[in-house]
Structure 1
Amino acid sequence: MDDSRILELGIRIGRNTAKVNEYLAANNLPQPSFDLNAPSQFPIPDNETEIAAARKAVLHDCLELRALMFGPREYLESFQHNELVSQQIIARFKLAEAVPIGGEVTFAELADISGLHEIHLRKLLRLAIAQHIFCEPRPGVVAHSAASRLIAENKMLADWIRYSTDDLWHAAYHMGDALARYPGSEEPGETGFSLANKTSKDMFQFFAEKPELSLRFAAAMRFINGRPGLEPERVINGYHWDKVGKGGIGTVVDVGGSHGKICIELARRFPSLSFIVQDLDEQVVRDAERQRPEEVADRVRFMAHDFFKEQPVKGADVYFFRAVLHDWSDTYAAKILQAHIPALKLGAKILISEPVVPEPDKIPAGDALRIRANDLVMLELFNGGDREMADFKRLLEKAHHGFQFNGANQVPGSNHWIIEAEWMGE
């Protein structure tokens, strides 16, 4: 009799787990753990592609095996609507910061510190403990796990959790209401986020009027952009920057580039290129100028600019959009591109660095959940979303027939691609 799927998965999980374990042992690396002093990230270097692939396969296969072992009915029942509530309370009431690293507090003491009722606190934290966030070394006593310690020590992570469990979670809850009220809308102010916050403004406009939320969002984005696969060197290695301009001498405009992290690293690598980093927020521009390294100060400039308005930098060789267009529906993404047309010289390149959604039959099974969930975030917030390659081609055509799609390459080691279009003229 042929092996069953569950047996196949079990064997494969065992084989790949053994491969990872052997690597850890051979290199004197710590075993995975949530103990207080455990590493915050799984200790496999990026260049160990075979071991990294084995680990990824274990993660994917475990999810499939779990679902199969449940069966359809129990699997549907297994989704818990309140799995994030403990993280929300931990972030909102700063509970991780209230527990001493390497020490202990009682539920009663933590209730006094936080202002929460002890019974409520105990219920919430025991859910977190079941998720490996905190531990209870003795009944009624709370101490850190590696996960809760990370929340206490990494403010950007704590801000990300707060953003995720407040802003994103509420936007997701109201998305069905938005779809019913605004069917087919491409307007950024007709979303789950706008309904959750009782506003007709898009998220960026709404945050701009609320400094605390704006700062939290900025910190959350810095945390996200620090994840493996989004490092500046990925972008540097993902495109032939040495061929920009004539003889390697040229100008790159980073549209919506925030603090210019990418351009600063490009300037260090390619001394013949000059960069202009644009951002809507003038405070961001001022902060970026203060933080700019002296050795690239003459080649990396910052400018306040609204990318829906006509591009003021004329005749640059490259206009670079990193994680910009997926925030917007096709209607508004096309307007962003159209605002650049008066500035474009013949042969100017539009570079778009974003995730590209594979066609349905080409998405690896283990990646489908992550890809689809990330896509929905943009719908909940902006009526935007990640696009398939054919969608990018249609977007360029929608913006203007003068944009020629030149192809795309996936950035090595990242889920981002770099899509190139060339301005061929009116």
Structure 2
Amino acid sequence: MEPSANVLVALADRITKQVANLSKYLEDSDIGMSDFTVESRERPNTGEFKTLHSDLTSSLEDLQYLIDGPRAYMRSFICSGNDLAAFQIAFEFGFFNLVPTDRAIPIAELAKKAGMDVDRTARVMRMMATRRTFEEKTPGEFTHTAASLVFHEDESFRCAGHYMVDEMWKAATATAECVKASPYESDSSHSPFKTRFGIPLFEYYAKNPGYAARFAKAMAGATKIDRQVTEVVDGFPWDGIRGTVVDVGGGSGHLSVSLARAFPHLSFVVQDNSASMLAQGKDSGLRDVEGRISWMQHDFFEPQPLRGVSAFIIRQCLHNWCDRDVVKILEALVPALEKCDDGTPLLINETVLPQPGTIHAPEERGLRQMDMLMLVTLGSKQRTKEEYETLLKEADDRYEIYSLHSTGSMGLLEVHLKVERS
């Protein structure tokens, strides 16, 4: 049944009110609205703005769907791979850096600098311009927009875009083929990435250091958007913890450094299986927290060797592994938790997926996009609170989720091991 005019009008009225609320928030925050110029400002990363943004985005998508109808709406979505093909060329041939920031560039000049023909250069640029990435104010000449300028100025964000339309997108095209080949098995050896490239993701990066370096920079870019440490630093009562915190799989210690700076009464042990990651952390000039962070090579599949510590935290690690491997990681922590005081927390800082349909569709889609990315790259997944609870109980029936401090892209689960003392 086609939506009545009254439905569209009511939705438009709701959107008008939501726009007014969001605009007032930005004005009160002295931020101002975005525009399409290179001077356009970034949106704030506050909970209130995220709520206003989510409400408005959901309504706008509903309106778009209703005015398009299902066929046109789905056609636009299904064809979005063609948009990404243009971006793939732009990243690969360096368009974002070749377009100058202080003048327009003729298409022939851009094509010559890129080392490709004028016709396809123009077609790629005009496709991206429909996404407000570059602008053709004068026929045949292009300038930056706020969107293209982000990729020009921020190397880590540019790497994030490039790796997504390169190895990640290529791997995604092998997803159905992978599932057909292994319909009941999903891990790094049974992943679309392995199907497309012939070896699992981390082995691929070990053999291709150039791509590995880009991937590392891309991960740094991602942390600027939705993987901040705010939920851990602000969302847990660290003032009630005394002693040493063990950062399991902590890489170069980014999280521990942030916590050490915020809570000078705590000390930290950063554990990782990669000697190079640990060395990177040691050599990063951390004089302000010197003496409170130590470094230890440790494979988190092996039993945790430290005892009598005040807390364990594992961040952005479990989503890289299939269920049976997550159980092994959780089992390896049990002997240590048994030797700690009652109530010693194991903090799991990972995406915590919502139950379907409990948040706005655009917000849920962003989380489930990351879930699909994990499926594609590592045959792994993002999980709900209930799925974590199941894996914890499988690892040891004494595990209990004590508190859920936050959900979403950077959820925070507080887990305790209930030990009977004699």
Query: Does TM, normalized by the shorter one, top 0.5?
Result: yes
Matches within 5 A, 1:108-257: 108-199=108-199, 201=200, 203-228=201-226, 230-244=227-241, 249-257=242-250
2:101, 2:46 → 1: CA distance?
A: 30
Q: CA deviation at 1:311?
A: 2.5
Which among 34, 37, 55 is matched to residue 36 of structure 2? 34
Letter in 2 for 1:31: M
Match of 1:7 in 2: 9
Unaligned runs of 5+ in 1: none
1:243, 1:31 → 2: CA distance?
A: 41
Q: CA deviation at 1:205?
A: 2.5
CA 1:278–1:205: 2 relative to 1, 3 Å: farther
1:336, 1:24 → 2: CA distance?
A: 44
Determine if contact 2:354/2:364 at 8 Å carries over to the other structure: no
1:399, 1:88 → 2: CA distance?
A: 42
**Higher alpha-carbon deviation: 16-25 or 143-152:** 16-25
Which among 344, 350, 355 is matched to residue 351 of structure 2? 355
Match of 1:390 in 2: 386
SS of residue paired to 1:137: strand
2:223, 2:37 → 1: CA distance?
A: 27
CA 1:250–1:23: 2 relative to 1, 3 Å: closer
1:102, 1:94 → 2: CA distance?
A: 17
Letter in 1 for 2:216: A
1:115, 1:326 → 2: CA distance?
A: 40
CA RMSD of aligned residues (A): 2.2
Task: Determine if the alignment matches structure 1 residue 308 to structure 2 residue 301.
Answer: yes
TM normalised by structure 1 equals 0.90
Q: CA deviation at 1:425?
A: 4.6
Which among 411, 414, 422 is matched to residue 417 of structure 1? 411
Determine if contact 1:250/1:316 at 8 Å carries over to the other structure: yes
Match of 1:327 in 2: 320
Determine if contact 2:306/2:336 at 8 Å carries over to the other structure: yes
Task: Determine if the alignment matches structure 1 residue 70 to structure 2 residue 50.
Answer: no
1:343, 1:20 → 2: CA distance?
A: 48
2:416, 2:28 → 1: CA distance?
A: 50
1:408, 1:24 → 2: CA distance?
A: 30
Matches within 5 A, 1:96-115: 96-115=96-115
1:223, 1:119 → 2: CA distance?
A: 32
Q: CA deviation at 1:113?
A: 0.9
CA 1:340–1:132: 2 relative to 1, 3 Å: same
Which among 287, 292, 297 is matched to residue 280 of structure 2? 287
Q: CA deviation at 1:171?
A: 1.9
Letter in 1 for 2:282: E
Determine if contact 1:404/1:422 at 8 Å carries over to the other structure: yes
1:295, 1:351 → 2: CA distance?
A: 25
Determine if contact 2:331/2:396 at 8 Å carries over to the other structure: yes
2:304, 2:91 → 1: CA distance?
A: 40
Letter in 2 for 1:419: L
SS of residue paired to 1:405: strand
1:165-192 Cα deviation digits (max 9, x unpaired): 1122122211111111111213212101
Match of 1:369 in 2: 365
Letter in 1 for 2:295: F
Q: CA deviation at 1:45?
A: 6.2
Unaligned runs of 5+ in 2: none
Match of 2:331 in 1: 338
CA 1:332–1:143: 2 relative to 1, 3 Å: same
Q: CA deviation at 1:27?
A: 6.0
Determine if contact 1:193/1:381 at 8 Å carries over to the other structure: yes
Q: CA deviation at 1:33?
A: 1.6
Determine if contact 1:233/1:265 at 8 Å carries over to the other structure: no
Q: CA deviation at 1:321?
A: 1.0
Q: CA deviation at 1:118?
A: 1.3
Q: CA deviation at 1:90?
A: 1.5
2:402, 2:387 → 1: CA distance?
A: 14
1:416, 1:149 → 2: CA distance?
A: 27
SS of residue paired to 2:83: coil
Determine if contact 2:327/2:394 at 8 Å carries over to the other structure: yes
Q: CA deviation at 1:25?
A: 5.0
1:340, 1:55 → 2: CA distance?
A: 40
Q: How many residues align?
A: 413
Q: CA deviation at 1:394?
A: 0.5
CA 1:307–1:5: 2 relative to 1, 3 Å: farther
SS of residue paired to 1:31: coil
